Amino acid sequence: MRRRSNRVAVESSSVVAATRWLKLTVAYDGAAYAGWQWQPTEPTVQGVLQDAWRTITQEEPRLTASGRTDAGVHAEGQVVGVETASTIEPRRLLRGLNALLPDDVVIRAVDPAPAGFHATHDSLRKTYRYQLHTGPTPPLFDRRHVWHWRAGPLDAERMGQGGACFVGRHDFVSLESVGSERSSTVRTITDLTVTTRPVDGGERIDITVTGDGFLYNMVRTIAGTLVEVGRGSKPPEWVAEVLAARNRAKAGQTAPPQGLFLVRVEYS
């Protein structure tokens, strides 16, 4: 987590009684972090962002994220909400935060948000992408950003056929890992695509999925389940059986974290 060398002057704001809400769009390489959520003894994305915010504004921030990405998971468009009394303009906050953050975390935008904005509760849809690399040779430069599948080729067309079974409103309890209690395990998937292209002597396969919400490790289990279809051990229609079983043991493995990206979060 090397610090950037292009420093800018850190500004302090005058604190007034009125507050405002801001929406930060954040990208990060999660390889060096124990996830999004702050931990007292481990480096986290929330932790480094809070440190930078505290330095610039002299405030103790209360940040809400659209989702708590796990250790090793990445983001291209994580959304973070913050209520602040700082009067620093968004463009100066953007510049100042990026000067203080490690070079594997970048604030892409600082925008005004409606009063009471909550990045988690106000989100309408999220899009995730899971990335695989097939082939005998490990991908050197993408090694922290893909699941390197060594056990033979994967049929992306069959994976897409199986993935179509996930689209719609279903009970996804078969794809939820233990560790997060939810009042309901019903979610709506509006789109799921499987694309492929040749790269580095093998193939890059991307599973992109959009929905109104996701259970703990749901996208990684979708990937692990579709790999079973792609390798030929299960037919595409087996995916519907997994959903109907309502039993985690019937689905595929939880894919490794490094292939997962939070791509974007949509709001009204």
pLDDT in tens, the chain (268 residues): 555 544 444 444 444 447 999 999 999 999 999 999 999 999 999 999 999 999 999 999 999 999 999 999 999 999 999 999 999 999 999 999 999 999 999 999 999 999 999 999 999 999 999 999 999 998 999 999 999 999 999 999 999 999 999 999 999 999 999 766 678 999 999 999 999 999 978 899 999 999 999 999 999 999 999 999 999 999 999 999 999 999 999 999 999 999 999 999 999 9
- Feature table: binding site for substrate: 128
CATH class entry, domain 125-266: alpha beta
pLDDT of residue 207: 98
Cα-based distances in Å from 210 to 190, 206, 247: 6, 13, 23
CATH number of the domain located at residue range(s) 20-113 in this protein: 3.30.70.580
Pairing relationship of beta strands 74-84 and 20-28 according to DSSP bridges: antiparallel
- Give the model's pLDDT for residue 3: 56
Task: Tell me, yes or no, if the two domains 20-113 and 125-266 fold the same way.
Answer: yes
- SS3 labels along the chain: CCECCCCCCCCCCCCCCCCEEEEEEEEECHHHCCCCCCCCCCCCHHHHHHHHHHHHHCCCCCEEECCCCCCCCEEEEEEEEEEECCCCCHHHHHHHHHHHCECCEEEEEEEEECCCCCCCCCCCEEEEEEEEEECCCCCCCCCCCCEEECCCCCCHHHHHHHHHHHCEEEECHHHCCCCCCCCCCEEEEEEEEEEEEEECCEEEEEEEEEECCCCCCHHHHHHHHHHHHHCCCCCCCHHHHHHHHCCHHHCCCCCCHHHEEEEEEECC
Cα 241 from chain centroid? 27
Enumerate the domain spans of the chain.
Answer: 20-113, 125-266
One-letter amino acid for residue 255 of the chain: A
Question: Which segments are annotated as binding site?
Answer: 128
Predicted pLDDT of residue 205 = 98
Please identify every residue annotated as catalytic.
70
CA distance 147 to 144: 8
Determine the pLDDT at residue 182: 76
Q: What is the pLDDT of residue 180?
A: 64
Distance of CA 172 to the CA centre of its chain: 19
The tokens for 80 are 């973070």
Q: Are 98 and 92 in contact (CB under 8 A)?
A: no
- Cβ neighbours for 39, distance < 8 A, ≥ 6 positions apart: 47
**Full-model pTM:** 0.92
